[in-house]
């Protein structure tokens, strides 16, 4: 979680507009899932991984770490397609199974690389601003914003409490570990409430009247970039249709 | 007439914990006021009364001599003039980026986008954190968070800025930098009020002091005068600032005339010493 967030905040394409990034990501995703050609899917994956690692300079280790979670699902899905089990429980290669698995693998890889591109290059603040722009009710956008902010405070607090418990040997045996863990969770609750109350005081001091209005940074999309993205997507689409 | 005044205010927390017991305090425009008191002496509770967050059980708070009311419209115009920075910056920062967080107050004042942007930029510049504008609030250091929290109020341009323990937890350099920055705010005619238990810091930075003990003000006035009174200082469970001791001693030894100003910086005190060394 936190390494994705760090990458989103520190990559080279951090300040690119959400419109450009989502056009690239969702456009490519659409092509990967709708065009049956596996070649197109591989091209999409290559472009998106290239954009993430080379253009936005996301650290490959971070990309890989974020990729391993969906990878296990992907592998299980593809492997079960490649094999068949008959009535005598005999396992064999399914007819055409390898090709099917390859196709599925290529498209899933393309899809995941599209989403990882967006997740690893876009700060959460931009997503929230984007939500407002497309007309999501401000209450929902505000909830998302507060949850995002407090997720980090909560994990920081939990980590500090955990370190304090460890220092007093609270996690040496399984039994004590479970007891300490339950105490930690029970203590987070009142702390969260106290924090919410202090936040209310802090916000009221700044004239809060029930709405969390902030001035989001303007990230203008350039017509040139949008044009390049559309052209690139048309090219991949053409490859996909031609190679079918 | 004082700009802001607390008159006989009392406050009791649940469980019969008496925080303030008939406290009086006057805040004069254009003077830096340090509210000095030991832990648990009621400093934070007082600040929460001075911007209307808490309503006193007895007594009243007056702004420009007018008793304050607690309906939502009055509270809004009150807080427009009196800003409060909480001790824990994490209690105040809620937006994902620094720039957005600082824009919250000005937008609540009903300012338009262009003016808000201008206020945000100048507040960030005043706190020397313009480079952090796009940074995520949760990725900041402790000192940076503190500055962002202060910038959030500075952008609202209040007449009085109340700061709860602004230097608590800051290292030496961080404290010096913050004080320099706060000193710069005075040019924009902001009256500064801050709580602390650090007498050295208060002595170097404040004009006036209010000494607190057990929920009442035990002394109020020009800082050197008040802190020179040993009995009062001891009653407040504090100590006389070392710089002040040096100044008073220098006066006893005739190094300073009875009406000469006492040294308020380390350099001024050292300069006095060198005067003692060289034969007159």
Instruction: Compare CB distances from A212 to B85, B94, B136 and report the shortest one's residue.
Output: B94
* pLDDT value, residue B278: 66
Give the structural domain span for B180. Answer: 4-238
How close is the nearest chain A Cα to the Cα of B107, in Å?
7
Judged against a pLDDT cut of 90, whether residue B244 lies above it is answered with yes
The complex's ipTM works out to 0.75
Could you tell me the two tokens for B54?
């808490």
How close is the nearest chain A Cα to the Cα of B28, in Å?
21
Mean pLDDT throughout A207-220? 82
Name the DSSP class of B83.
Answer: E
The C-alpha atoms of residue B31 and residue B209 are separated, in whole angstroms, by 10
Residues in chain B, how many? 280
**For the domain that residue B34 is a member of, what is the CATH number?**
3.40.50.300
Q: Is A237 found in the same domain as A176? A: no
Q: Is A158 found in the same domain as A100? A: no
Q: Is B172 found in the same domain as B262? A: no
Query: CB within 8 A of A175, min separation 6: which ones?
Result: none
* pLDDT value, residue A212: 83
Contacts of B88 in chain A (CB under 8 A): 198
User: The whole model's pTM is what?
Assistant: 0.81
Judged against a pLDDT cut of 80, whether residue B266 lies above it is answered with yes
* pLDDT value, residue B61: 95
Instruction: Compare CB distances from A195 to B72, B83, B91 and report the shortest one's residue.
Output: B91
For residue A1, what pLDDT band results from cuts at 50, 70 and 90? low
CB B160 within 8 A of CB B27: yes
Task: Give tens-digit pLDDT for B26-41.
Answer: 999 989 999 998 888 8
Could you tell me the two tokens for A43?
């091209």
Judged against a pLDDT cut of 90, whether residue A86 lies above it is answered with no
Q: Is B257 found in the same domain as B180? A: no
Q: Is B202 found in the same domain as B107? A: yes
Task: Give tens-digit pLDDT for A51-72.
Answer: 999 999 999 999 999 999 888 8
The verdict on a CB contact (< 8 Å) between B134 and A217 is yes
How close is the nearest chain B Cα to the Cα of A225, in Å?
22
* pLDDT value, residue B122: 93
Number of CB pairs < 8 Å for A and B?
Answer: 109
* Residue B203 vs residue A152, higher pLDDT: B203
Residue at A212 is within a domain: no
Q: Strands of B208-213's sheet, edge to edge?
A: B82-85, B160-164, B191-196, B33-36, B208-213, B216-222
Q: Is A165 found in the same domain as A116? A: no
Residue of B nearest to A125 (CA): B96
Q: Residue B125 — left, alpha, or beta (φ > 0 → left; ψ -120 to 50 → alpha)?
A: alpha
Could you tell me the two tokens for B236?
């407040």
Q: Is A112 found in the same domain as A8? A: yes
The verdict on a CB contact (< 8 Å) between A205 and B139 is no
Q: How many domains does chain B have?
A: 2
Residue at A214 is within a domain: no
- The alpha carbon of A48 is separated from its chain's Cα centroid by a whole number of angstroms, namely 14
Give the structural domain span for A103. Answer: 2-122+220-242
Mean pLDDT throughout B62-73? 92
The C-alpha atoms of residue B215 and residue B40 are separated, in whole angstroms, by 9
For residue A79, give the H/E element and its range: helix A60-82
Beta-bridge partner residues of B209:
B34, B221
The C-alpha atoms of residue B44 and residue A191 are separated, in whole angstroms, by 19
Beta-bridge partner residues of B67:
B62
Query: CB within 8 A of B240, min separation 6: which ones?
Result: B199, B227, B228, B230, B233
Q: Is A91 found in the same domain as A181? A: no
- Mean pLDDT, chain B, rounded, equals 90
Mean pLDDT throughout B134-163? 92
The verdict on a CB contact (< 8 Å) between B153 and A206 is yes
């Amino acid at each position: 979680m936190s390494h994705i967030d760090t990458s989103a905040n520190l990559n080279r394409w951090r300040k690119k507009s959400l419109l450009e990034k989502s056009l690239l990501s969702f456009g490519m995703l659409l092509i990967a899932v709708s065009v049956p050609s596996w070649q197109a899917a591989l091209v999409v994956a290559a472009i998106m991984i290239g954009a993430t690692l080379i253009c936005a300079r996301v650290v490959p280790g971070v990309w890989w770490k974020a990729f391993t979670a969906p990878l296990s699902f992907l592998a299980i899905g593809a492997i079960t397609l490649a094999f068949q089990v008959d009535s005598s429980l005999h396992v064999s290669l399914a007819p055409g199974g390898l090709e099917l698995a390859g196709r599925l693998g290529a498209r899933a890889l393309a899809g995941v690389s599209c989403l990882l591109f967006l997740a690893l290059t876009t700060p959460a603040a931009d997503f929230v601003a984007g939500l407002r722009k497309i007309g999501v009710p401000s209450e929902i956008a505000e909830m998302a914003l507060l949850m995002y902010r407090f997720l980090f405070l909560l994990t920081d607090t939990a980590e500090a409490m955990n370190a304090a418990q460890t220092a007093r040997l609270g996690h040496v045996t399984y039994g004590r570990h479970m007891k300490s863990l339950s105490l930690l969770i029970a203590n987070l609750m009142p702390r969260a409430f106290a924090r919410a109350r202090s936040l209310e005081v802090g916000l009221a001091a700044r004239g809060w009247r029930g709405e969390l209005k902030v001035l989001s940074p303007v990230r203008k999309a350039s017509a040139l970039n949008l044009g390049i993205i559309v052209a690139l997507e048309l090219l991949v689409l053409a490859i996909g249709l031609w190679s079918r | 007439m004082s700009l802001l005044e607390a008159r006989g205010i009392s406050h009791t927390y649940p469980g019969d914990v008496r925080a303030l017991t008939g406290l009086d305090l006057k805040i004069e425009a254009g003077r830096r006021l340090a509210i000095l008191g030991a832990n648990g002496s009621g400093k934070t509770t007082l600040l929460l009364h001075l911007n209307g967050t808490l309503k006193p059980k007895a007594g009243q708070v007056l702004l420009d001599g007018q008793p304050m009311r607690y309906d939502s419209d009055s509270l809004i115009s009150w807080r427009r003039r009196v800003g409060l920075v909480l001790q824990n910056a994490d209690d105040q920062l809620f937006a994902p980026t620094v720039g957005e967080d600082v824009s919250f107050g000005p937008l609540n004042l009903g300012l338009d986008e262009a003016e808000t942007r201008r206020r945000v930029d100048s507040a960030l510049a005043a706190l020397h954190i313009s480079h952090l504008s796009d940074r995520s609030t949760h990725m900041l250091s402790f000192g940076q968070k503190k500055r962002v929290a202060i910038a959030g109020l500075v952008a609202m341009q209040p007449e009085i800025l109340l700061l709860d323990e602004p230097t608590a937890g800051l290292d030496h350099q961080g404290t010096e930098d913050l004080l320099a920055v706060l000193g710069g705010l005075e040019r924009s005619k902001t009256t500064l009020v801050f709580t602390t238990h650090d007498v050295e810091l208060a002595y170097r930075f404040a004009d006036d002091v209010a000494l607190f003990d057990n929920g009442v003000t035990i002394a109020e006035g020009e800082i050197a005068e008040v802190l020179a009174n040993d009995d009062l200082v001891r009653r407040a469970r504090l100590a006389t600032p070392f710089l002040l001791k040096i100044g008073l001693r220098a006066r006893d030894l005739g190094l300073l005339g009875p009406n000469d100003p006492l040294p308020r910086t380390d350099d001024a005190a050292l300069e006095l010493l060198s005067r003692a060394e060289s034969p007159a």
